[in-house]
Amino acid sequence: MINDSHKYAVQSVGQAFDLLEVIADDPIHATLPRLAETRGMSRHKAIRLLTTLCERGLVERDETAGRYQLGIYSVTLALKLLNHANVVTYAHPIMEDLARKHGEAVYMTVAAGDEVLFLDMVDCEQWIKVAPLLGNRFPLFTNAAGKVIKAPDSREVLEKIFRKRGKRGDFADLDKLELELQEIRNKGVAVDVGGLGEGIITVAVAVRDYAGKVVGAVTMLGPSFRMLAERLESEIVPSLIEGAARISAKFGYTPA
């Protein structure tokens, strides 16, 4: 049974999205009276929703003209969505090649705040395999994908993440972490054992855009009894490096 307060909250979210849609379609006429009239709500209700949207940065008000327009955070969200969509579009065919070649699950992973998001997946056909992680998030420094994505970051950035996440027990030694990230930068690949579960090995290589910025990581997961050191070194790591280079090239990246 859905209670009245929940129904009200859902209705308010829907009305807020309605306002965003009207503002995006016709910002020139997006005044309070027009928005309220267009969406069939009272001005009191409209101003409450618009105030919340402004506080969240989704909407901005032009005080001189009295009009509302999309805020900077709306633009940021749109750019992130487009970037992630491009990552999936460019990466998926190459991920399929890697999964078919090595018989292991392959993911496209991206940073999401101080976590790593497993954004897209090509599964393997092995009888014994790691449970699918599509859509899951993990703290950045508990896995190979997060480490390779954040490896280029400065000490200052790492300290900020450490202050936030270190207290939660995600990692305890910043100096040790920095040395590990330096090694990842030198090798161009991160390998993690057990960070995503006992007996799971993760290998990740960064994907870069035209400016050399890391936009994600192509990541392979498998059980330790198949992801043996010799196989990693001779087969999987070279393939992932080559695959990540192919994806990066689609973003216009050219190695120096």
- Per-residue pLDDT tens over the stretch 59-81: 888 887 788 888 767 766 665 65
Which of 197, 218, 86, 227 lies closest to 132, judged by CA? Answer: 197
Write down the pTM of the prediction: 0.66
Please identify, among 49, 70, 91, the residue that sits at the C-terminal boundary of a domain: 70
Q: Tell me the C-alpha distance between 25 and 232, whole Å.
A: 52
- Closest by CA to 138, choosing from 177, 160, 168, 159, is 168
Residues 121, 116: Cα–Cα separation, whole Å: 14
In a domain, 38, yes or no: yes
Instruction: Give the residue numbers spanning the domain of 237.
Output: 76-250
Domain end position, chosen among 50, 70, 90: 70
- Domain end position, chosen among 70, 91, 106: 70
190-248 pLDDT per residue, tens: 999 988 889 999 999 999 988 898 989 999 999 999 999 999 999 999 999 999 999 99
Q: Are residues 48 and 21 in the same domain?
A: yes
* Residue 138 located in a structural domain: yes
In this structure, is residue 129 part of a structural domain? yes
Q: How many domains does the chain contain in total?
A: 2
Tell whether 48 and 130 lie within a shared domain: no
CATH number for 123: 3.30.450.40
Q: Is residue 255 part of a domain?
A: no
* 126 and 106, same domain (yes or no): yes
Pairing mode of beta strands 67-70, 59-62: antiparallel
More confident residue, 159 or 216: 216
Mark whether 180 and 60 lie in a shared domain.
no
Torsion-angle region of 66 (φ positive above 0: left; ψ -120 to 50: alpha; else: beta): left
**What tokens were used for 151?**
């490896």
Same domain, residue pair 110 and 27: no
| Same domain membership, residue 149 and residue 236 | yes
- How far, in Å, CA of 208 to CA of 85, rounded? 15
> Model confidence at 6, in pLDDT bands (50, 70, 90)?
very low
**CA pair distance 221, 228, nearest whole angstrom:** 12
| pLDDT tier for residue 171 given thresholds of 50, 70 and 90 | low
